[in-house]
Amino acid sequence: MQFYKLQKYFLFVFLIIIFFCAKNSQAAFSSMQEAADKVAKDFATKKDLKNKKIVVIGFRGLFNSNSEVFSQIIESELTTSFINAIPQKIVARIYMDEILEELQFSNTDIFNEENRKQIGLLSSADIIVSGTYRFEKNNLSLTVQAIDLETGIALASTKVEIKKSGVPINPDIIEIPDNNNYSAPAPKRSSKNSTRLPVIDIEADIAYYGQPKVSYNLSTNFYFSKYMGVGIGGVVFDMELSYAYYDESEEYRSPLYTKNSIDQTFYMPYLSLVLRWRKSLTFTYSHALGEYVGTWRMNLKYDMRNVIFGIGLTQGNIPPTTVYVDSIDRHVPVEEEFYSLWEVIIGYRLPIISRYWE
């Protein structure tokens, strides 16, 4: 009798264990769309994903089941489900294809952290939904993660199983392994530099060099490599020039008074060589054209979101000429003027055409 009661007790405990195991084990979905809907609904309830713009991209196959075409199938199914679960917050797949084409990224390049940031920048997304998949004996195992593009922290993760009969598998697209003894190679890090830099830009700045006097600079720069370019432009100088006053009887022969100064504005065209380091630092050497050919200018500038701060040095000469002086109502000669000016520069740089330099 006691043995019978003990047997019933063990049977009861065994049934409870089986019940909880069955409850906790996840049944395989009959189709990929069902699994995608489940993932999207789960992620829609996460507080960390509320009011966030999401892009679904970047799925990689484990072992020898990797296929870029099949990865795109998963991304397409998940994007559709996410659009239905979280309206107006999902970046369209066709738009992402254009971004990937512009960046020249392959499916494996997306797993590089810096590349993800570039995708987020161009798509204005806050969250990237990506993951891995693996073919097992009877099912497709799909792991999905939501990752913050700014911090790289995973905010949500889930795993679903899909029956092979519900997966759109084509033998020409993907090879299904017979076992899981294959070790997949580590994904390649992208060798591309994804920094977006101007090909052509227009720059305007003001240089202060004391007295107080200023110069106004406008130039257009053309870059033929990541680090180097050429420019053409002009600078308007507002300077004090020395002159001697002559009386009418001895004009242009001997000065009647000592040298004085006069405010004078003149324009100097120039060609320049531009060297840039990374995205924000540029060194420019400019050489004057025409009658000011002996004049040169060099400066070092820091670009803070297209606003320029810098220092510079200008050295050169102003050829002899005559200027009109209002106070004496006549033209007076101006001797050749040599100058050396240290400048503090502030300005703005406007990119016209930009690209990603390799």
**pLDDT of amino acid 256:** 47
Distances (CA, A) of 70 to 82, 96, 101, 106, 345: 18, 17, 18, 13, 54
**pLDDT of amino acid 341:** 83
Sorted by where each starts, the structural domains of the chain and their CATH numbers stand as 23-166 (3.40.50.10610), 196-356 (2.40.160)
Task: Report the predicted TM-score, pTM, of the whole model to 2 decimal places.
Answer: 0.45
Segments of the chain scoring below 70 in pLDDT: 1-27, 63-67, 106-111, 168-195, 211-212, 243-262, 325-329, 358
pLDDT tens per residue across span 73-97: 888 888 888 888 887 778 877 777 7
| 351: enclosing H helix or E strand | strand 337-356
Closest CA to 158 of 39, 25, 54: 39
**pLDDT of amino acid 290:** 82
Task: Give the pair of three-digit tokens for residue 250.
Answer: 């001895």
Closest CA to 274 of 216, 217, 232: 232
**pLDDT of amino acid 304:** 87
Determine the Cα–Cα distance for residues 323 and 319; give it in Å rounded to an integer: 12
Closest CA to 288 of 323, 314, 251: 314
**pLDDT of amino acid 126:** 85
**pLDDT of amino acid 300:** 94
**pLDDT of amino acid 80:** 86
